[in-house]
Each structure stands twice: as structure tokens, then as C-alpha cells.
Structure 1
Amino acid sequence: MSRTGQYAKGVAKREEILEVALEIIAREGYHGLTIRHLADTVGLSKTGLLHYFGSKEDLFVEVLRRRDAVPRDVVARGGSEHFMETLMAALRQNMEAAGLIQLYVRFSAEATDPGHPAHEYFAERYRRLQDSGSDAMQALSADGRLAPSVDPGKLTVLLAALLDGMQLRSLFSPELDVAGHVEHFMHLMGLHAEHDSSKSE
């Protein structure tokens, strides 16, 4: 097999491992995923599995990156015009997997240590959220969809903190309507879903 073929095969296997890891954590919880369990499921030895990621912690970081990817794409496609609708859809999708929330909450606390494998992931994630979120909030403000007193940059920080806090709270209160509470907060900031504003016209 050529080097190109070997590389493509390796990439495909890595993707398979990540997809299976996501499924196991979503189905069985954060503690349901062991390297042995995952390796057996994807047909590798423990050593073979760690060849792709280096350590269990590095694997978990990549799982979190994959978890972020789909909701981020959903929100990006919606743009500022449908911000509320796409944000709520992405949030509800994320909240369906309690095991992934457990992983996110645990690592977000541990990663405050600069030496933690997930530290750079979270630092970069907050930078990205601030940049993209501020742009979206600026657009909403320019469209007159935010209350005049709301600072778009500060609202972005508050929204990110609210989303993190609500994920933690949901682990203690699984019945909590996280998306509904976030939507209520955004209403307080003057932003309403598109269908709400159309009803008021």
C-alpha cells in the first residue's frame, strides 16, 4: 500500500474511533468508556488504539472537539437572521447526551490547570466563541434585534457562561429545560425567535 493509501486508511480509522467513542459516551455515560472497551469495539489492541491519540485524555479532548463540530456548523449556517432558532436547535441536540455533558463539565474544571491536556482546547474554544459570538451579536444589534442597552461583547461572555453553567445544572436536574431557560435569558436581552417577532407584526 502506498503512503497516501496508508495515510487515508489511518485517517478513516481515527474517524471511526471518534464516532464509536461518541456513541459509547452518549449511550453509557462518561465512565462507560474505557480504552479496553473502545479498543475491542473498533477491533484494535489498547496499544493500537493509543497509537492514534497518545492517551485517554487526548482521546477525550478530540471527542469534545467532535461534539462541538455539528452544533457549531448548525449555528453558522443559520446566520444572524435565524440565530435564536439555530442556537436552540444546536443546544437541544447537545443536551440529549448526558454522558458528553459529564465529560465536558469534568474536563472544563480540570483544564483550568495549564498542564492539563484539555487546557488549550478550552482556551481556544472560548476565544473562538468570543470572536464568532461577538460578530453574531453585533449583527443582531445592528438589525435592532437586541435591546439598545445591551453590549454585544459582554452579552457573548454572559451567554457562554450561562451555557456552561446550565450544562452543569442539568446533571443535577435532568428534567430541566435548559434550552427554554437560555431562550428566556435571550428574551430578556431583547432578542426573540423569528416566529415570535413575526407574530407581533
Structure 2
Amino acid sequence: MSPAPRPPRGPYGKTRGRVELVARTAHEVVLESGHRALTLAEVARRADLSEAQVLYHFPSRDHLLVAALKHALDRQGEDYGHRPVAPGTDPVDAFAANVNEGLSDPPVLRLFVAMSAEATDPDHPAHAWSREHHEGVVRGYARMLRNLQESGWAHPDVEPDRFARQLMALWEGLQAQWLVDPSFDLGAEVAAGVRVLARRDAVLAREAVESLAHRL
């Protein structure tokens, strides 16, 4: 067995620990009171730091909000909905359940929507995070589609990266609607979109024709 990695020592270890502490504390404030309530003073107070110490690592409130969001997403584990599926289970039903599991922290979802909008400004601290996040989502969804194609569930002609970008837009758009009006089943709506984008109906139609041909 390999020895456990040693924690960082010296100034670097102390700095990284403080950054993680501030990000975790900012996340806690968002969960308890929402992102609009987050202030440098409150984060500093809870982390037992001075405001100057917080500002040294996070030069603005917007930087703190991005740190809180990244900490939240790291805790959730961004698997983008492609968890192992039990035999005999519709993979998109499992995907829908995963979508709905992610609704347990509405304050984080509101922060995500707010930072996604702010990230359209190249000078905003969320811009770099958003690019990295979107690239990861596209890779994850494209991999999910390839797995569905290999299993025969999705149509082989669907282009993975295009599918991934469209699914990301669908999910994030529906998520914003759900935050305004949570009366509908978000997971079911996203799953329906996956079936359309993956051309599931075309696969089922082809299977039906082949089955009929074998009986003739």
C-alpha cells in the first residue's frame, strides 16, 4: 500500500488551507441565507479571519461567490448524470432521478444561475470558471451519449458534442424555469429532452421494423 500523502507544509500549505476555509465558509453562508446575503464581513467573521485576510485571497465579493459555487459543485461531484445503470433499467430514467437529486440545494442553484449570467462578461471572475465548467459538461455528456450509442439505446448518427451542447442548454434553461416555478418535474422534462436529442424514437421504430421483418 502506498503511503498516505503528507499535507502541504509551510506557507503554501497554510495558504491553501485558508483558501479552502474561506470557500467552505462562503458556501455555508449561501446555503443558509442565499447568495445575496453573502458579504466579506460575514465570511471573515465566521472563518475567524480579518477582512484583509479574506481580500488577500479573494479580492472582491464576486470572487467569493465563484469560490462558494466551485466548492458546492466539488462537493456534489460533477458526474453530469452518467452514473452506472442497473441492468434492465432505462438509463434516462436513472438520469432523471439524478437531475432531481441535484435540486436539494436551491440556494446553490440560484447562485449557479446568477454566476452563469455574470460569466458572459469576459472581465467577470466567473468567466474563466464558466468556460471550464462548460467544457467539462460537454465532455461528460458526449461520453454519456457514446455509451448510449454503444448499448444501442441512442441513434448512431447523433453527433456527441452537438448533443452535449444542446443538452446542457436544455437542462440549464429548464433549471432556471424550475427555480421560478417548481411545479413541474424537472427530471422528467430533461429526460424527455434526452430522448429527443438522442433520437430514441428512431431507434425504437427501427427495432419495431426489424422485429416485424423477422416474423414475416
- Bin the TM-score by the shorter chain: 0.7 to 0.9
Higher relative contact order (CA 8 A, sep 6+): 1
Q: Is the 8 A contact 1:141 1:152 kept in 2?
A: no
Identify the match of residue 69 of structure 1 among 70, 74, 85. 74
Matched AA of 1:44? L
Instruction: Find out whether 1:147 has 2:147 as its counterpart.
Output: no
Identify the match of residue 132 of structure 1 among 121, 126, 140. 140
Instruction: Find out whether 1:48 has 2:53 as its counterpart.
Output: yes
Instruction: Find out whether 1:176 has 2:184 as its counterpart.
Output: yes
1:71-150 matches, within 5 Å, as: 71-75=76-80, 78=83, 84=92, 87-88=95-96, 90-148=98-156, 150=158
Deviations 1:156-189 (A, max 9, x none): 1111001211221122113332222212322444
Give distance in 2, aligned partners of 1:99 and 1:123. 22
Q: Is the 8 A contact 2:119 2:125 kept in 1?
A: yes
Give distance in 2, aligned partners of 1:44 and 1:60. 17
Q: Is the 8 A contact 2:81 2:98 kept in 1?
A: no
How large is the Cα RMSD of the aligned pairs? Answer: 2.8
Specify whether residues 61 and 86 from structure 1 end up closer, same or farther in structure 2 by C-alpha distance, changes over 3 A only: farther
Give distance in 1, aligned partners of 2:155 and 2:164. 14
Instruction: Find out whether 1:4 has 2:9 as its counterpart.
Output: yes
Deviations 1:73-105 (A, max 9, x none): 545883588964764455334322222222211
Provide structure 1 residue ranges, at least 5 long, that are not aligned to the other structure.
Answer: 192-201
Aligned residues: 189
Q: Tell me what 1:36 maps to.
A: 41
Specify whether residues 37 and 111 from structure 1 end up closer, same or farther in structure 2 by C-alpha distance, changes over 3 A only: same
- Cα distance, 1:110 vs. partner? 1.9
Matched AA of 1:9? K
Report which of the two structures shows the higher radius of gyration computed on alpha carbons: 2
Deviations 1:23-49 (A, max 9, x none): 221221111211111111111121111
Give distance in 2, aligned partners of 1:158 and 1:21. 32
Identify the match of residue 27 of structure 1 among 13, 32, 43. 32
Specify whether residues 23 and 177 from structure 1 end up closer, same or farther in structure 2 by C-alpha distance, changes over 3 A only: farther
Return the TM-score normalized by structure 1.
0.79
Matched AA of 2:43? L
Please state whether the residue corresponding to 1:95 is helix, strand or coil. Answer: helix
Matched AA of 1:142? E
Specify whether residues 73 and 124 from structure 1 end up closer, same or farther in structure 2 by C-alpha distance, changes over 3 A only: closer
Provide structure 2 residue ranges, at least 5 long, that are not aligned to the other structure.
Answer: 1-7, 202-216
Instruction: Find out whether 1:17 has 2:22 as its counterpart.
Output: yes
Q: Is the 8 A contact 2:81 2:95 kept in 1?
A: no
Specify whether residues 72 and 25 from structure 1 end up closer, same or farther in structure 2 by C-alpha distance, changes over 3 A only: same
More helix by share: 1
Q: Tell me what 1:58 maps to.
A: 63
